[in-house]
């Protein structure tokens, strides 16, 4: 009986060792440069997934490449993508001070740097050995949402971009000819930071460009609705909304499934 039990345990041990490896998200800092500036991004992937897979660029809010952006990259990795959360400020700069964040974002926003640094990150992602270079997309939050729109307007080779509560810049006339990515705007219906005239100009530009675009409004949601760190005080115009956060993440997943023509499951 003892011998039989020992044999069973040995066989069970072999079965466990020979079985499929459990999924594990690997996250690592990736250093790269844009015109001499050192940038420190965060790359995430599931090491149990074999071969090349779609790549998704993640662009942070105006706070810099913080834990929220990294967590989004990890979530995408869990879904089977390779995700790169880019550094838009250089040296991995991040802050919790609003005045400093405004200064950092102001140095990049509405300048060629916004597109150039997004393109630098996309280049790194495209060349990674776990990425299918023909299947790329980008998502961004607030400042990052504006950034991924500018990336699309630049004519970058991405299948689609998704903006979470981002600023809505309209493409310039010369940008409309380059625009080929599908665009998904996830917008808080009560967001006071995006003016009605900006929405109107964006939508009209999309029509003139003949773009493949969607814009989804979340009732009651204000700016930064996807980030739990935004607090719950909607009277400030900036607040987390769990329903809008969950719904917008699912809408993003459906969009990625469409543009990549895959069947990766939905999760929160």
Answer yes or no: are the C-beta atoms of 76 and 265 closer than 8 Å.
Answer: no
Q: Average pLDDT for residues 170-199, to the nearest whole number?
A: 96
Q: What is the mean pLDDT of the chain?
A: 91
Map out the domains of the chain as residue ranges: 23-260
Answer yes or no: are the C-beta atoms of 140 and 148 closer than 8 Å.
Answer: yes
Instruction: Give the pLDDT confidence of 155-181 residue by residue, as tens digits.
Output: 999 999 999 999 999 999 999 999 999
Identify which has the larger pLDDT, 50 or 89. 89
Which residues face 141 on adjacent strands?
164
**In the prediction, which pLDDT does 224 show?**
97
**In the prediction, which pLDDT does 262 show?**
72
Sequence-distant (6+) residues with CB within 8 A of 18 are none
Distance CA 139, CA 214 (A): 14
Sequence-distant (6+) residues with CB within 8 A of 92 are 29, 39, 40, 64, 65
**In the prediction, which pLDDT does 18 show?**
46
What's the CATH architecture for 23-260?
Answer: 3-Layer(aba) Sandwich (3.40)
Q: CA 229: distance to chain centroid?
A: 17
Confidence tier at 17 by pLDDT (50, 70, 90): very low
Q: What is the dihedral of CA 159, 164, 167, 169, to 10 degrees?
A: 20
Instruction: Give the pLDDT confidence of 219-256 residue by residue, as tens digits.
Output: 999 999 999 999 999 999 999 999 999 999 999 999 99
**In the prediction, which pLDDT does 9 show?**
47
**In the prediction, which pLDDT does 23 show?**
65
**In the prediction, which pLDDT does 28 show?**
96
Distance CA 222, CA 165 (A): 8
**In the prediction, which pLDDT does 258 show?**
95
Answer yes or no: are the C-beta atoms of 42 and 128 closer than 8 Å.
Answer: no
């Amino acid at each position: 009986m003892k011998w039989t039990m020992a044999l069973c345990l040995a066989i069970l041990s072999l079965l466990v060792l020979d079985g499929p490896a459990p999924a594990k998200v690997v996250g690592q800092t990736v250093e790269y440069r844009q015109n001499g500036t050192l940038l420190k991004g965060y790359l995430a992937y599931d090491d149990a997934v074999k071969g090349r897979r779609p790549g998704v660029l993640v662009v942070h809010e105006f706070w810099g490449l913080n834990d929220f952006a990294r967590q989004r990259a990890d979530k995408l990795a869990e879904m089977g993508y390779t995700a790169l959360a880019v550094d838009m400020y250089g040296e991995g700069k991040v802050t919790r001070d609003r005045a400093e964040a405004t200064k950092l974002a102001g140095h990049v926003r509405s300048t060629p740097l916004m597109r150039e640094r997004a393109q630098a990150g996309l280049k790194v992602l495209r060349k990674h050995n776990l990425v299918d270079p023909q299947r790329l997309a980008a998502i961004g939050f607030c400042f990052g949402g504006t950034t991924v729109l500018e990336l699309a307007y630049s004519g970058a080779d991405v299948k689609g971009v998704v903006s979470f509560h981002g600023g809505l810049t309209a493409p310039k006339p010369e940008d409309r000819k380059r625009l080929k990515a599908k665009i998904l705007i996830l917008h808080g219906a009560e967001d006071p930071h995006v003016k009605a005239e900006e929405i109107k100009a964006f939508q009209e530009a999309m029509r003139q460009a003949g773009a493949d675009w969607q814009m989804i409004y979340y009732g009651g949601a204000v700016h930064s609705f996807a980030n739990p760190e935004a607090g719950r005080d909607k009277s400030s115009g900036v607040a987390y909304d769990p329903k809008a956060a969950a719904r917008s993440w699912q809408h993003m997943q459906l969009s990625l499934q469409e543009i990549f023509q895959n069947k990766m499951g939905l999760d929160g």
